[in-house]
Amino acid sequence: MKTERLSLYTEDGNHCLIMYQPAKEIKIPQGRYKILSYEVFRKDEQGDLWRLCASATKESPFAAVGGGGESVLEFGEPYIPIVDLLKTGVGTERVYLMFNVEGKAKELLTDLSHISGNKTLIALSGKKNLGHRPKEPIYKVVKANGEVVKQGFFEYG
């Protein structure tokens, strides 16, 4: 993927490195770094251009950069869909499903947008002002016996 923007911060939180169109290999001072955020561009199999933005989470690892050696900071693919179950209220049966997409460094996607082209085979959202995003994912809540209790679409936002 072509990285447009990459931001790293130090373990103590005192410094942030912001890079525009960084090379595949970059030289940075010794220390421990974590991804703060990144923006990448990628073409799909039909040649349409997509933008992907992501931000680190508490679970995102730090990478140690030592003197004279190389260190690898992995992020991005493979991306994995994650669904969290959230219960709200005291004594209520209200449950919310949260859909996120997580990258290799436990980073969360914050934006996935179709930038250009008209040949993509990825279904786009039919909702007003969301036509540049992929179609909302479908969910089904199924009992152990196979009975569908609830189904619908996740929503952006």
Burial class (CB in 10 A: 0-12, 13-18, 19+), 35: buried
CA 117 to CA 41: how far, in whole Å? 13
| pLDDT tens per residue across span 45-102 | 999 999 999 999 999 999 898 877 678 888 999 999 999 888 777 766 777 888 999 9
| pLDDT tens per residue across span 92-143 | 677 788 899 999 999 999 999 999 999 999 999 988 887 799 999 998 889 9
Name the residue ranges covered by the structural domains of the chain: 2-122, 124-157
Global pTM reads 0.84
Q: To the nearest whole number, what is the mean pLDDT of the chain?
A: 90
**Angle at Cα 156 formed by Cα 92 and Cα 98, nearest 5°?**
40
